[in-house]
Amino acid sequence: MQDVTDGAFWKLMHRYGGADVYWTEYFRVHAVSRPEKWIVASIEQNSTGRPVVAQMIGNEIPALIRAAKELQQLNVAAIDLNLGCPAPIVYKKCAGGGLLREPQRIDSILGALREAVSIKFTVKTRVGFASPSEFDALQPIFAKHSIDLLTVHARTVAQMYRLPVHYDLIRHAAETMKCPVCANGHVYSADQALEVLAQTKARGLMIGRGVIRSPWLFNQIRQRLRGEPVTFPTGREVLGYIEALWESQASFDAPEKVQCERMKKFMNYLGEGVPGDFLHRIRRSQARADFFGLCREFFDHDQPMRLEPVSGVVPAEPS
Ligand SMILES: Cc1cc2nc3c(=O)[nH]c(=O)nc-3n(C[C@H](O)[C@H](O)[C@H](O)COP(=O)(O)O)c2cc1C
pLDDT band of residue 153 (cuts 50, 70, 90) is very high
Indicate which atom in ligand 1 lies nearest the CA of residue 269.
31
- Give 208 Cα–ligand 1 centroid separation in angstroms: 6
- Residue 143 has a CB neighbour count (10 Å cut-off) of 15
Asked whether residue 123 carries a pLDDT value surpassing 80, the answer given is: yes
Instruction: Say what the pLDDT of residue 318 is.
Output: 65
Cα(133) to centroid of ligand 1, in Å? 22
CA of 211, closest atom in ligand 1: 26
Q: Measured in whole angstroms, how far is the alpha carbon of residue 128 from the centre of its chain?
A: 18
The rounded percent of the chain whose pLDDT value lies above 70 is: 98
Does residue 196 surpass a pLDDT of 60? yes
pLDDT at 316 (0 to 100):
62
What b/e readout covers 24-43, taking b as 16+ CB neighbours within 10 angstroms?
A: bbbbbbeeebebeeebbebb
CA neighbours within 13 Å on the CB side: how many for 221?
24
Q: Whose CA is nearest to atom 29 of ligand 1?
A: 1
CB 153 near ligand 1, within 6 Å: yes
Q: What is the pLDDT of residue 271?
A: 96
Closest Cα to atom 30 of ligand 1 = 1
Whether the predicted pLDDT of 319 surpasses 60: no
Summary mean pLDDT of the chain: 96
Assess whether the C-beta atom of 26 lies below 6 angstroms from ligand 1.
Answer: yes
Q: What pLDDT is attached to residue 315?
A: 63
Q: How wide is the angle at C-alpha 38 spanned by C-alphas 32 and 40, nearest 5°?
A: 75
Q: Which residues pair with 22 in a beta bridge?
A: 52
List, in order, residues 6 or more apart from 23 with CB less than 8 Å away: 5, 52, 53, 55, 80, 124, 206
Average the pLDDT over 99-112 and give the result.
Answer: 98
Average pLDDT over residues 185-206: 98
User: What radius of gyration do the chain's Cα atoms show?
Assistant: 20
pLDDT digits (tens, 9 = 90+) for 220-244: 999 999 999 999 999 999 999 999 9
Residue 97 in contact with ligand 1 by CB distance below 6 A: no
- What per-residue confidence (pLDDT) applies to 253? 79
- Is the pLDDT at 163 greater than 60? The verdict is yes
31-66 pLDDT, tens digit per residue, is: 999 999 999 999 999 999 999 999 999 999 999 999
24 CA closest ligand 1 atom index: 8
Mean pLDDT of the 203-212 span: 98
Ligand 1 neighbour 124 (Cβ under 6 A) = yes
The answer, yes or no, to whether any atom of ligand 1 lies below 6 A from the CB of 86, is no
317 pLDDT band (50/70/90 cuts)? low
Average pLDDT over residues 242-264: 89
